[in-house]
Structure 1
Amino acid sequence: MNQKVLENTRNVAIVGPYSSGKTTLLESLLFLAGATTRKGSIKDGNTVGDSSPEAKERQMSVEVTAASATYQDINFTFLDCPGSIEFAQETYNALVGAGAAIIVCEPVIDRVLTLSPLFKFLDDWEIPHLVFINKMDRSKNGFMDVLHALREVSSRPLIPQQYPIYQGEELVGYIDLVTEQAYHYHAGSPADPVPLPEHLKDEEKAARTEMLETLADFDDHLLEELLEDIDPPQEEILQDLKKELGADQIVPVFLGIAEQDYGVLPLLDALIKEAPAPTVTAERRGLTAADKDNTIVQVLKTYFTPQGGRLSLVRVWQGEVTDGMALNGVRAGGIYRMMGQQQQPIGRAFAGEIIAIGRLEGIQTGDILTSSNQKKVPQLPQAEKLEPVYALAITPENRKDEVKLSAAMGKLIEEDPSLYWEQHGDTKEVILWGQGEIHLQVALDRLRRKYNLPMTTHLPQVPYKETIRQATKSHGRYKHQTGGHGAFGDVYLDIKPLPRGEGFHFHETIVGGVVPKQYIPGVETGVREYLEHGPLGFPVVDVDVTLTDGSYHTVDSSEQAFKQAARIAMTEGMPKCQPILLEPILMIAVSVPSEFTSKALQLVSGRRGQILGYEGREDWKGWDRVTAYLPQAEMHNFIIELRSLTMGVGTFTWQYDHLQEVPEKLTETVLASASNGNGKS
């Protein structure tokens, strides 16, 4: 292992809410580090990040983008992560391999709550992170007010390393709270040192004291110095910042305007001086140097590129990767550093680096790969897979393309594991599941663009069932005469309802051989076939059918004839049993910040939901968890409304629970819709 490479490597994820300026910050970081000769812009569609057609069209990140730069002998890999909650799986998968993260946010107190899930994920995974308050030129709130709001959503103490300098409402510079040096920003060049403004001396002193006192909570020596009114040396402060940040005990806060490069160089310098080396993250994951000869990598993201096919973005946890090396028995077909959609071939990569490997066929996102077939693959943690919350039924525009759909969907899900697809057993529809409306539209765009599979979509049908309320007896006789042998079957059936959830039971009480044993399976088959479409047009459940009597013909009877007789008996008898419509009921658990709990309760109740209760969400300060029963027919846009009521952070999980009778008025609507042939209620 090349120790110098290891110590001089930094993997930094850039995360934050949609429109906070993450991709703009990446452009500034790459430009100031000399990795690019000019900065791209979201508006012009020429940024290193957000370079896919789907991202350009929506002017938003829809997948992780990796970009490399070298600055002051430090090799950086930046991971620009999507901000929309609908693409959170991408972000979480990438963060697993990051050594540090920059949370980019706007100085808007009302939007701070949107950072809550990110802070929670980073704290749970103990990933060191800094905050960069972007767009400070648009701030309508004071810096310390924004800082206070941010502290409400973080379980780690936030400490400012800078203090803003304003002239009127214009941000003109900052004060470095470590050195107490003031700087003025200049467009196109580094900030200039200037004397500390007199009117800010008291505020700067208070902010610096707060920073030092927070650091002293983790350093007894610093605490002693503060108690004795000794001004600690700058080197000691920087060492404390590095140590506490590396241990994920503090969150340093920086500020600036990424679009103008203001505050970006100090952020880059902080990553060099304070962000931990890759060994820190590896040790936290339970890896030690004892097995250094065994290469271990983890797949953070899978791409399918138009030119080179499969490309796996990986974190090298241990050892080194060389071109042609076998990982889990699969030979690496090229090793690359990434610059957006551009790939730079390299001969090898060392522990701590994030690089891309070509043609790792059969390897999935999240997989742990090793170079040794003899050694056990270590159990490294993986990001939890998000449950799908939104669905569309999809059909190829060209019916001939149906045969290509399965392979294309497989690749789509390899690129984005938060997608899921199924062919529904009852409705026979192909249903695509994901994290929201935009998420599925991006997936459909990829199907069309990458695999030439344009799709039509509609709302998935609700898999209604039907059952009966009362019992009846029914007789069915099938008699058919042709030139040769005829067909004869004759049955008497008892039909009665079963308790909800019992399914279908079939019995026979034949005596005296009035229906020979070899024909009885045909009777059951005929009953089962009929129950696929009951008198209301839906599959029938919770019914008991007993064959009680019948007759046969020694020549003309057959199993097929008795099957037809059973269908006739069911067709005659079932409409007399008071058929009723049943709908699937889901058990849902809705998670929202406590201030939105009442809105969540109203949303559930307004969709015919039955509230079961609510309580504080475990390990989530200031969040509640509402449990309820919700009809599946009311689920379709539930996540869209929930997010609109909760600033985009509300979510829910669900599972099928039981069937329940559909209210009479709604039954009429469903049956009318079904009779019109659409059944998409």
Structure 2
Amino acid sequence: MGDKHVGVAGGRVSSPRSVAIIGPFASGKTTLLEALLARTGAIGRQGSVDAKSSLGDSSDEARDHAMSVEANIATCTYKGENFTFIDCPGSVEFLHEGNSALNGVDIAVVVAEPDEKKTAALQLILKALEQRNIPHVLFLNKIDKATGSVRAMLQALQPASSVPMVLRQIPIWENGTATGYIDLALERAFVYQEGKPSKTIEVPDDERAREVEARYAMMEMLADHDDVLMEQLLEDEAPENDIIFGDLVQEMRRGEICPVFIGSAIKGNGIRRLLKCLRHDAPDIVDTRKRLGLKETDAVVQVLKTYQTSHGGKLSVARLFGGSLKEGALLYDSQGQEYRPSGLAQMQGLQPKKVTEAVAGDLVALGKLDGIETGMTLCVGAKPPKLLFVPSSPDPVLSKGISATERKDEVRLSTALAKLVDEDPSLTVTQVQSTGETVLDGQGEMHLRVALERLTGRYGLAVNSFEPRIPYKETIRGSTELRGRHKKQSGGHGQFGDVVLSIQPVPRGEGHSFNDTITGGVVPKQYIPSVREGVKEALEKGPLGFPVVDVGVTLKDGSYHAVDSSDQAFRMAGILAMKDGLKECKPVLLEPVDKVVVACPSETTARINAIVSGRRGQILGFDARADWDGWDEVEAMIPESELSDLIVELRSATAGVATFSRNFDHLAELSGKAADKVIESATVLA
């Protein structure tokens, strides 16, 4: 990997830095990665997402949909220092990919468009960084397409951030187009040059007043955390540039401000200035260890991303926080379990490049570590590692039933699904006992579509997908007492079982009960368990076609034959009594109802309430979302049958940012045409 600790100007020694590129969907993150790699010489020319020539988003699924569907990793060298960039998906359906990687970064570059309609989506990104105290800067992309005041646009985006967004650069406008920028810290102006570094010029006279005003506004924000600077401003003293630069760096690293840079990734404008910021201002592995509570002696790695490759097998990409890791070295988990990677590699997009050693700060792909999952902490050496934070997977919001088209592929499907979940923990696979279906749960339409495409394209499986069945139940409103007699004579010993059962409803949620009041041995004790077994079997499918719940059964009477009675005969007698008896007890259909909590921007709450009500939902109330400025949480009871595509409608109403959690709450009676339709469908399926 070369010499990782390179001396730089001023005697500073830097370790490899890890940088997240993160931001809302379609903000230009992958294009920014291309621009950074091109300007550092890591790639020969800047690729294009639209032309499907980018190093990032090189998977078939990403290129087919022209969007990031997984984290992309690439390494470059800039002025003797090594940087690894993790380009994180921006769609809310794939955000967990970025959240898993954030533990392993020193700083994040948040890419945003000058579009206030993206404020809520930007807030999702910034919240994840703020909650984990990750230093970050904002790159206001597509400045070439911006109209109006950048400062006004920043004010519109400010509600997304809990800390001040501090503008470090302002554009130079010419005929409504940004032709360059003024660096407020350097007090220098730069003119963009296509394919070349920006040209330094004097601040134009007609921009001087705007520059002075914007610089003073920047210093006022910095002074909120620096009493010396505040005093200088109050006394109209001109602070030295070293103070300004020092405050910008330290306040960013402490999470007190979010510095803002401007540029255009697709045109390469502002990229070198961003690189210089990362080189001079970004924390290194020493600072990151302190933030994570690690000591210098903690030679630990955390797995940030798992790839299931078609040729190289499983790759676990991990950040090394201390020490060094050589090829063939052993790793240990917190239980002392031993692992030996099959090799070490550096990722450049989806292409691994073999290396022999990694040092503190490196991101390295570990080969074929079976049993290792994304988020796990491992130690180089037998000492138990300090466990690092692992973000929990978001609650699933959309489900699809899935089956192999050909029965012979069922085992292969199970194996492939396990690999998908290993690679993407925000997917879950559930075997639903009540319906016998395999259900794939995920974060939205595109998330599940990509998963299905991987099953077909990567694993060569033909699969069917369908709406999972709703686990309806039925119960009874009335009571009855009924005799069930099973009598059969076929030569030799016959079969005889005779029971009288009392059937009645019990309170909702109490389940089944079985008792007997047999006296005088009219049903011998050894046959009573068989009657119970028959009752239980009959309750598995009631007269409406669904499992029966909340029923009390009492065995009251019966008779037996000394020769022909048997366990089987009394089991059949119990089944017959129940089958006929349940029909007389006014059976009623029950549908599952979930308690749902929808998180949404406050300005969309009224629309969300209307959507919920339109899905037979009972709104319980709404309140401000804790620690989320400008967001609400709506609580409601919604029938499970109404939840299948709820997320699609919610996101359509909220510019793609709403989400929800759900938990089963109770069963509710369903009658009328809706019940008739469910029963008719069940009859067809049967």
Matched, 1:154 2:161: yes
2:304 alignment partner in structure 1: 300
1:61 alignment partner in structure 2: 68
Does structure 1 retain, via aligned residues, the 8 Å contact 2:342–2:366? Answer: yes
Amino acid at match of 2:371: G
Following TM superposition, by how much is the alpha carbon of 1:672 offset from its aligned partner in structure 2, in angstroms? 2.0
Following TM superposition, by how much is the alpha carbon of 1:232 offset from its aligned partner in structure 2, in angstroms? 2.1
| The one of 365, 373, 378 aligned to 1:356 | 365
Matched, 1:603 2:607: no
Following TM superposition, by how much is the alpha carbon of 1:3 offset from its aligned partner in structure 2, in angstroms? 5.9
Following TM superposition, by how much is the alpha carbon of 1:376 offset from its aligned partner in structure 2, in angstroms? 2.9
Following TM superposition, by how much is the alpha carbon of 1:406 offset from its aligned partner in structure 2, in angstroms? 2.1
| Cα distance in 1 between the residues matched to 2:23 and 2:350 | 22
Following TM superposition, by how much is the alpha carbon of 1:372 offset from its aligned partner in structure 2, in angstroms? 3.0
2:10 alignment partner in structure 1: none
Per-residue CA distance 1:650-669 (angstroms, 9 max, x = gap): 11111111101114221112
| Cα distance in 1 between the residues matched to 2:241 and 2:586 | 84
| Cα distance in 2 between the residues matched to 1:661 and 1:366 | 43
Amino acid at match of 1:142: S
| Cα distance in 1 between the residues matched to 2:650 and 2:82 | 42
| The one of 377, 381, 392 aligned to 1:384 | 392
Following TM superposition, by how much is the alpha carbon of 1:216 offset from its aligned partner in structure 2, in angstroms? 1.5
Secondary structure of the corresponding residue to residue 104 of structure 2: coil
| Cα distance in 1 between the residues matched to 2:117 and 2:28 | 17
Does structure 2 retain, via aligned residues, the 8 Å contact 1:254–1:267? Answer: yes
Amino acid at match of 2:30: T
Per-residue CA distance 1:62-82 (angstroms, 9 max, x = gap): 000100000011100000100
Amino acid at match of 2:291: R
1:336 alignment partner in structure 2: 345
Does structure 2 retain, via aligned residues, the 8 Å contact 1:64–1:79? Answer: yes
Comparing 216-225 with 587-596, which one deviates more in the overlay?
A: 216-225
Does structure 2 retain, via aligned residues, the 8 Å contact 1:107–1:141? Answer: no
Following TM superposition, by how much is the alpha carbon of 1:4 offset from its aligned partner in structure 2, in angstroms? 5.0
Secondary structure of the corresponding residue to residue 443 of structure 1: helix
Per-residue CA distance 1:232-272 (angstroms, 9 max, x = gap): 22222222212111111110101111101011111111111
Q: Which runs of 5+ in 1 are unaligned?
A: none
Per-residue CA distance 1:412-451 (angstroms, 9 max, x = gap): 1000000001111111111100001110111111111222
| Cα distance in 1 between the residues matched to 2:255 and 2:426 | 28
Does structure 2 retain, via aligned residues, the 8 Å contact 1:238–1:274? Answer: no
Matched, 1:448 2:456: yes
| Cα distance in 2 between the residues matched to 1:126 and 1:339 | 28
Per-residue CA distance 1:277-311 (angstroms, 9 max, x = gap): 1211211111122xx1x520000110011121010
2:322 alignment partner in structure 1: 318
Following TM superposition, by how much is the alpha carbon of 1:675 offset from its aligned partner in structure 2, in angstroms? 2.3
2:477 alignment partner in structure 1: 469
Following TM superposition, by how much is the alpha carbon of 1:389 offset from its aligned partner in structure 2, in angstroms? 0.8
Secondary structure of the corresponding residue to residue 275 of structure 2: helix
Per-residue CA distance 1:123-148 (angstroms, 9 max, x = gap): 11101111111111222342111110
1:103 alignment partner in structure 2: 110
Matched, 1:622 2:633: no
| Cα distance in 1 between the residues matched to 2:552 and 2:33 | 66
Per-residue CA distance 1:463-522 (angstroms, 9 max, x = gap): 000000010011110011112211110010000001110111111111111111111111
| Cα distance in 2 between the residues matched to 1:534 and 1:140 | 66
Per-residue CA distance 1:103-136 (angstroms, 9 max, x = gap): 1111112222211111111111101111111111
1:221 alignment partner in structure 2: 228
| The one of 163, 188, 208 aligned to 2:215 | 208
Does structure 2 retain, via aligned residues, the 8 Å contact 1:217–1:223? Answer: yes
Q: How does 1:476-555 map to 2 (within 5 A)?
A: 476-555=484-563
Amino acid at match of 1:321: L
| Cα distance in 2 between the residues matched to 1:577 and 1:177 | 81
Identity of aligned residues (%): 47
Following TM superposition, by how much is the alpha carbon of 1:462 offset from its aligned partner in structure 2, in angstroms? 0.6
1:563 alignment partner in structure 2: 571
Secondary structure of the corresponding residue to residue 152 of structure 1: helix
Q: Which runs of 5+ in 2 are unaligned?
A: 8-12, 333-337
| Cα distance in 2 between the residues matched to 1:220 and 1:74 | 34
Secondary structure of the corresponding residue to residue 318 of structure 1: coil
Following TM superposition, by how much is the alpha carbon of 1:408 offset from its aligned partner in structure 2, in angstroms? 1.5
Does structure 2 retain, via aligned residues, the 8 Å contact 1:242–1:276? Answer: no
1:281 alignment partner in structure 2: 288
1:421 alignment partner in structure 2: 429
Following TM superposition, by how much is the alpha carbon of 1:228 offset from its aligned partner in structure 2, in angstroms? 2.8
Stretches of 4+ aligned residues off by more than 3 angstroms: 1-6
| Cα distance in 2 between the residues matched to 1:30 and 1:304 | 25
Matched, 1:395 2:403: yes
1:12 alignment partner in structure 2: 19
| Cα distance in 2 between the residues matched to 1:46 and 1:543 | 64
Matched, 1:590 2:594: no
| The one of 188, 213, 238 aligned to 1:181 | 188
Aligned residues: 674
1:39 alignment partner in structure 2: 46
| Cα distance in 2 between the residues matched to 1:371 and 1:515 | 69
Secondary structure of the corresponding residue to residue 685 of structure 2: coil
Matched, 1:248 2:227: no
Amino acid at match of 1:500: R
Task: Identify if the C-alpha distance between structure 1 residues 656 and 141 changes in structure 2 by more than 3 Å, giving closer, same or farther.
Answer: farther
Does structure 1 retain, via aligned residues, the 8 Å contact 2:164–2:221? Answer: yes
Does structure 2 retain, via aligned residues, the 8 Å contact 1:469–1:580? Answer: yes
Amino acid at match of 1:303: Y
Per-residue CA distance 1:193-251 (angstroms, 9 max, x = gap): 12212222222111111111111222222223222322222222222212111111110
TM-score (normalised: structure 2): 0.96
| Cα distance in 2 between the residues matched to 1:214 and 1:616 | 28
Aligned-pair RMSD on alpha carbons?
Answer: 1.4
Q: How does 1:568-579 map to 2 (within 5 A)?
A: 568-579=576-587
Comparing 169-178 with 218-227, which one deviates more in the overlay?
A: 218-227
Following TM superposition, by how much is the alpha carbon of 1:324 offset from its aligned partner in structure 2, in angstroms? 1.0
Does structure 2 retain, via aligned residues, the 8 Å contact 1:96–1:383? Answer: no
Secondary structure of the corresponding residue to residue 44 of structure 1: coil
| The one of 438, 447, 454 aligned to 1:439 | 447
2:335 alignment partner in structure 1: none
1:460 alignment partner in structure 2: 468
Amino acid at match of 2:376: D
Q: How does 1:163-174 map to 2 (within 5 A)?
A: 163-174=170-181
Following TM superposition, by how much is the alpha carbon of 1:2 offset from its aligned partner in structure 2, in angstroms? 7.2
| Cα distance in 2 between the residues matched to 1:536 and 1:663 | 12
Per-residue CA distance 1:17-40 (angstroms, 9 max, x = gap): 111110000000000011111111
Does structure 1 retain, via aligned residues, the 8 Å contact 2:159–2:629? Answer: no
Does structure 2 retain, via aligned residues, the 8 Å contact 1:14–1:102? Answer: yes
Does structure 1 retain, via aligned residues, the 8 Å contact 2:147–2:176? Answer: no
Secondary structure of the corresponding residue to residue 56 of structure 2: coil
Matched, 1:371 2:380: yes
Does structure 2 retain, via aligned residues, the 8 Å contact 1:238–1:273? Answer: no
Secondary structure of the corresponding residue to residue 440 of structure 1: helix
| Cα distance in 2 between the residues matched to 1:561 and 1:539 | 23
Secondary structure of the corresponding residue to residue 627 of structure 1: strand
| Cα distance in 2 between the residues matched to 1:189 and 1:503 | 75
Does structure 2 retain, via aligned residues, the 8 Å contact 1:108–1:140? Answer: no
Following TM superposition, by how much is the alpha carbon of 1:453 offset from its aligned partner in structure 2, in angstroms? 1.7
